Amino acid sequence: MTNDPILANPAATVMLLRDATSGIEVFMLRRTKSAAFAGGMYVFPGGRVDEADGQGDPGYVIAAIRECFEEAGVLLATDEDGDMVADGHPALAHRYAVHDGTVDLLALCAEHRLRPAIDHLVWVSHWITPLEESPRRFDTRFFIAIAPPAQTSRHDDTETIASTWIRASDALQREADGMLGMMPPTIKSLEYLAAHHDAHEVMASARRLGRPEPILPKLRRNADGRITGVSLPGDDDYADLG
């Protein structure tokens, strides 16, 4: 968290990866246009850390797993033999009940003798929304995980209205062409993925990073105070923005 007087809400997101003949693909969702935050944008599955997810580092990981299940329909959990859940498992039928809060994810896993696949997620970056964006500020941890090959992924048709598996480089090109709207953390995450050849290489690279340092974007404004862009650490004007 930050030392700002208005604290950012803890949140977690996960980049699901898979290897394709053309390279690494990542699962992306389009948020509904009516969403209060990032409406119409292409994002990775994610959302706020709930009280039921737990506190501290484990809470962020559980939140990432829960949001992945709710928004992508993919349950990152293993059975008693250590195998990832596959299509047809009875726990998968409770996706929407977890989404609306009538079923607790951890209780669901316990009932079906599943273990949340905490060790399968790697924390790769840490973004904190600028203070000016209060009260919709988020202290977000970005994780990566290899998608279970035997599970089908699909958007929820509630908070998200479209989904796609796409190469990071293709997503970046479509963003540059104005075809996919994205926020800076999403773009930077895709740039990180695009620099690697396969999913296991990305995972190994992320594990070597250690605990990510927080990234605090700053807002660029014109003379009238209107927001014109975002400055990131390393940009020429970052230090001058206060």
> What is the CB neighbour count within 10 angstroms for residue 57?
12
pTM of the model: 0.91
Residues counted in the chain: 242
Domains of the chain: 9-212 (3.90.79.10)
Q: Tell me, what's the pLDDT at 98? A: 96
Q: How far apart are CA 189 and CA 172, in angstroms?
A: 10
**Both structure tokens of 132:** 């000016």
- Report, as ranges of residue numbers, the positions in the chain whose pLDDT lies below 70: 1-6, 36-37, 132-135
**Cis before 233? omega within 30:** no
Quote the pLDDT of residue 33: 79
Specify the pLDDT at position 36. 63
Identify which of 151, 84, 155, 73 has the alpha carbon closest to the alpha carbon of residue 115.
Answer: 84
